[in-house]
Amino acid sequence: MPLLDKFAKYPLLFGPSPISKFDNLSKALGKKVNIFAKREDRNSGLAFAGNKLRKFEYIVPDILAGDYTHIVSIGGIQSNQTLMTVATACKIGLKAVTVQENWVPIPEAEKATYDKVGNIEASRIMGGDVRLVPDGFDIGLRKSFQDAIDDLKAQGFKPYPVPAGCSEHKYGGLGFVGFVDELIEQEKQLGVKFDKVVVCCVTGSSAAGIISGMAQYGREKDVIAIDASFTPEKTKEQTLRIVNNTNKLLGLDKTIDDFQLDTRFAHPCYGLPNEGTIEAIKFVGRTEGVLTDPVYEGKSIQGLIQLVKEGAFEEGSNVLYVHLGGASALSAYSSYFK
């Protein structure tokens, strides 16, 4: 019996996310490896979908088990997490309050529109109670988050808290354990074993879930995480904590003490791309017709491209890129693509 079967699940996805083969990208990089992508950006009909929704599948049953009125979550102004919180709340008939902190030093060219377009615009369309807060970036639990919860309680409501990225939630890692179970079945269907899995990492639960999931099959060392937080020590500590918490929940008798976190691509800070990020976004767009964002996937695809170029993978390897979504925020970064 799969280890996840003991947990309640509320279906929010179309089914297993599809796998694309990036033949053009592989060819453009010298045909050294075979590049595939598992498309979490195309996994559901809710808003723009993406990786947070997979996590909510295991959190929603806990919400529905109580008499909650609101889901409360937190992120930056262009947060994928807060957008998918609003979409999930709409789907299950609740209200959403999202705390949107100023996690990104917004470029001058974007200041007039950054809090009006992209993900935050979509949240407002869906009726989210969007609360802008000037506090800066940190992956930990935030005072502004608690303030929003306390405010709702004072009004007589019953809010359900979901931390940034769902990552500090007790079930935050379970969704991407399910991702791995899907992947193992897809390997059988495709007749392909993926030698390495490359995934972005900030608050940690997507990468952590994949590491835990792969650990079930003795393949946890096949995961390469690309840091996009620019606070790699915090990210690594939190990710490992989520991995081992998830292992305990699953009943998996394995402790993970380390994992590969490539920290070369997160600069200049969380939320802002570097020149290589923009080049990578354009390169993948022009070779595969696939969009990635400047905050997360642009940096992880930048990492994948660099790893291929420097020969980090054995020639002929099958490399799986995990596309976690986020392209819906591109309009907030239009000055980078003029």
Q: Are strands 34-39 and 19-21 parallel, antiparallel or unpaired?
A: antiparallel
Backbone torsions φ then ψ of 203, nearest 5 degrees: -85, -15
CATH for 3-46+171-337, among 2.40.50.70, 3.50.50.60, 3.40.50.620, 3.40.50.1100?
Answer: 3.40.50.1100
Provide the token pair at 48: 């723009």
Residues 208 and 28: their CA atoms lie apart, in Å, by 31
DSSP codes, 226-242 = EE-SS-HHHHHHHHHHH
Beta strand extents in 204-287 (DSSP E only): 223-227, 260-262
Compute and round to an integer the Cα radius of gyration of the chain: 19
Residues 84 and 337: their CA atoms lie apart, in Å, by 26
Residues 202 and 167: their CA atoms lie apart, in Å, by 10
Q: Where are the domains of the chain?
A: 3-46+171-337, 67-166
Catalytic positions are: 79
Stated as kind and residue range, the H or E segment containing 196 is strand 196-201
In this chain, the answer to whether the domains covering 3-46+171-337 and 67-166 adopt an identical fold is yes
Tell me the CATH number for domain 67-166.
3.40.50.1100
Three-class DSSP category at 207: helix
Residues 258 and 267: their CA atoms lie apart, in Å, by 22
Q: Show pLDDT as tens, one digit a residue, over the chain (338 residues).
A: 578 999 999 999 999 999 999 999 999 999 999 999 999 999 999 999 999 999 999 999 999 999 999 999 999 999 999 999 999 999 999 999 999 999 999 999 999 999 999 999 999 999 999 999 988 777 666 889 999 999 999 999 999 999 999 998 999 999 999 999 999 999 999 999 999 999 999 999 999 999 999 999 999 999 999 999 999 999 999 999 999 999 999 999 999 999 999 999 999 999 999 999 999 999 999 999 999 999 999 999 999 999 999 999 999 999 999 999 999 999 999 999 98
Query: For residue 69, what is the DSSP state?
Result: -
Residues 118 and 79: their CA atoms lie apart, in Å, by 9
Stated as kind and residue range, the H or E segment containing 181 is helix 174-190
